[in-house]
Chain A
Amino acid sequence: MPIEITERLVEDIARLSRLSLTPDEKGELHGHFEKILRYVESLDTLDTSKVDPSIFPHETSNVMRPDEARESLPVDEALRNAPATRDGFFIVPRIIQDAP
């Protein structure tokens, strides 16, 4: 059953993807998105009801390491590439508004 690709769906996916798109981009993506989904829908013709999903490239057991303190990246190094920092913290836009 093919899924209908609406403008609304494209906008929803862009919002979930945290991508702001220009109107031109939205139009182009709509067309490309539809083509790609039609292409991957070809898997529908295959019966996989008795197949286990392949989740890991090699089926290995969990990999553990000793729980020991180790040196890690100094804070100033870790923050070196951040667009905005102060006193060892990342600065982000305000997320709590003033009370009215």
Chain B
Amino acid sequence: MTSAASIRDRIRDGSVSARRVTERVLAAVDRVNPDLHAYLEIFHDSALASADDVDRRLAAGDDPGPLAGVPFSVKANITSLEGESTAGSKILRGYRAPYASTVVRRLQEAGAILVGKTNLDEFGMGSSTENSGVGPTRNPWDTDRVPGGSSGGAAAAAAAIPGVIHLGSDTGGSIRQPCSYCGVTGLKPTYGRVSRYGLLAFASSLDQIGPVAGSAEDCALALGQIAGRDPLDSTSADVPVPDYLSELGKGVEGLRLGIPREYFVDAIDAEVRERVMEAVETLRGLGVEVEKVSLPHTEYANPTYVIISAAEASSNLARYDGVHFGHRTARADDLVDMYSRSRGEGFGAEVKRRIMVGTFVLSSGYYDAFYLKAMKVRRLIRRDFERAFEQVDAILCPTSPVTAFPLGSRLDDPLKLYAVDILTVPANLAAIPGISFPCGRTREGLPVGAQVLGRPFEDSVVLRFAHAYQTETDHHRERPPVSADVEES
């Protein structure tokens, strides 16, 4: 099957041109996108021009970079010089970023080819991609269901067309949960592992950019290029970047894997639990030692996340004021009225809710009871993980309590949508890496995702678990009804 790694190798050894690959990818995207609405923009001309450049450099004997010719997309809340960077919000309709994000620049410098920008819940706020200001994305396994979110465009695109690397962002599960619903692999790296420069901020202490792809190997390939210290993001960590691809070869024999009792509660769908426990058995067969662990504050993680992410969002989104960029109202009595109307007209319902909640928990009289309290509970959640990681090398649990749900089925009550995040938000609060990979399907045919969490900056360990599983099983090779091949010839 096509992978980004195989595309890279075949371009490098001359068995296919970058132009040919790019043409096939663009044709495949054009074929599936009307059904899925995964891509908001497709860059036919600039992608082909970049591909020709790669081919010219290869012909001249130059090194066009470690990812030469590999197709990639970015979520529309990550800036690129190509196209618009709207974060899926009406307030940024038509916004063309004057600078490229560090991740896009690094992939392009490595020779990778940007083919388009993917859909998301507005500013990354949502778990279904239904909160997109430009219409929902559909799940390629069942187009009446959501792809998850907020990186739903990336996950749906990855499921439909293998061989492309997608960059998403994850604040409370926005990479992992859609990967679970679409049957693909996605990594939320350790906080600080990847520069956030050029990521339109949602919650700065939780946000992290990471790869979505067809396999752990392709995620490792991408992470190797985007990870590392960036002077333009002072929270990016000055920690050496290992060769993630060669790390994969180390396998998992003798590693200790913890199964947290608190993550297998009644809210978990029975079939999800079965598939995930089968994955545990597969890993046990590879020499992994499985142990029970406890993360006692798990039930408090989601309320803590709701408070902290909303607080940070209310502050970050203050910049959308109708002055510097984005939508400005047509009529306003004075400056404050201009701000309020521009924001009222430009933001969607969920974004308004979170700004309101965030403003409230930060306001005088409520700060201690909500925001300060949540920061203290965040410490307790981190300690849970620190203790568990004294006992085990990684933790395995479901990515989401449920599988892809029907479009519209959870929109009437925000808490119904927040409930699907309960197993992913702890990793963001604890700033640790987490990967989701497909571990089979339900009787209805919907993908189930397993999640492996690791110690800070041990992104390679969670990648190794997913890769070891994928060398032993074929779930990551299963293809949805809506799909198109970048066929090899």
Name A's B-contacting residues (CB within 8 A). 3, 10, 13-22, 25, 28-29, 32-33, 35-37, 39-44, 46, 48, 51-58, 60, 63, 65, 73, 77-78, 80-84, 90, 92-95
Quick check: A16 and B300 within 8 Å, CB to CB? Answer: no
In the complex, B138 has a CB within 8 A of chain A: no
Interface 9-mer from B217-225, B331-339, B477-485: B331-339
**19 residue pairs from A and B, CB less than 8 Å apart:** A17-B314, A17-B355, A17-B356, A18-B318, A19-B343, A20-B341, A20-B345, A21-B352, A29-B352, A35-B415, A36-B353, A41-B303, A54-B379, A57-B192, A57-B235, A58-B192, A58-B431, A63-B234, A84-B328
CA distance A52 to B379 in the complex (A): 7
Quick check: B325 and A43 within 8 Å, CB to CB? Answer: no
Indicate which residue in B234, B339, B376, B415 contacts A18 across the interface (CB closer than 8 Å): B339
Report A-chain residues with C-beta under 8 Å of the C-beta of B324.
81-82, 90
Report A-chain residues with C-beta under 8 Å of the C-beta of B382.
54
Nearest chain-A residue to B99 (Cβ)?
A73
CA distance A93 to B191 in the complex (A): 40
Name B's A-contacting residues (CB within 8 A). 94-96, 98-99, 191-192, 205-206, 231, 234-235, 237, 297, 299-300, 303-304, 306-307, 314, 318, 321-328, 332-341, 343-345, 347, 349, 352-353, 355-357, 359-361, 363, 366, 369-370, 372-380, 382, 413-415, 418, 431, 456
Quick check: A16 and B376 within 8 Å, CB to CB? Answer: no
Quick check: B414 and A35 within 8 Å, CB to CB? Answer: yes
Quick check: B357 and A80 within 8 Å, CB to CB? Answer: no
**Distance (Å) between the CB of B442 and the closest chain A CB?**
28
**Distance (Å) between the CB of B305 and the closest chain A CB?**
9
CA distance A60 to B236 in the complex (A): 11
A14-B356, A17-B355, A57-B192 as given contacts; A83 in contact with B328, CB under 8 Å: yes
A57-B431, A90-B324 as given contacts; A52 in contact with B352, CB under 8 Å: no
A20-B340, A95-B334 as given contacts; A81 in contact with B96, CB under 8 Å: yes
Indicate which residue in A33, A54, A78, A84 contacts B356 across the interface (CB closer than 8 Å): A33
Report A-chain residues with C-beta under 8 Å of the C-beta of B349.
25, 28
Quick check: A25 and B306 within 8 Å, CB to CB? Answer: no
CA distance A53 to B373 in the complex (A): 8
A25-B352, A77-B98 as given contacts; A54 in contact with B376, CB under 8 Å: yes
Report B-chain residues with C-beta under 8 Å of the C-beta of A60.
237
Quick check: A17 and B303 within 8 Å, CB to CB? Answer: no
Quick check: B376 and A83 within 8 Å, CB to CB? Answer: no
Quick check: A43 and B374 within 8 Å, CB to CB? Answer: yes
Nearest chain-A residue to B318 (Cβ)?
A18
**Distance (Å) between the CB of B283 and the closest chain A CB?**
28
CA distance A94 to B336 in the complex (A): 11
**Distance (Å) between the CB of A9 and the closest chain B CB?**
8
Quick check: A51 and B380 within 8 Å, CB to CB? Answer: yes
CA distance A54 to B430 in the complex (A): 10
Quick check: A58 and B237 within 8 Å, CB to CB? Answer: yes
**Distance (Å) between the CB of A81 and the closest chain B CB?**
4
Quick check: A81 and B95 within 8 Å, CB to CB? Answer: yes
Report A-chain residues with C-beta under 8 Å of the C-beta of B234.
63
Nearest chain-B residue to A55 (Cβ)?
B375
CA distance A12 to B206 in the complex (A): 28
Nearest chain-A residue to B334 (Cβ)?
A93
A-B residue pairs, 5 tightest by C-beta: A53-B375, A20-B344, A81-B325, A83-B328, A57-B431
A29-B356, A81-B325 as given contacts; A19 in contact with B192, CB under 8 Å: no
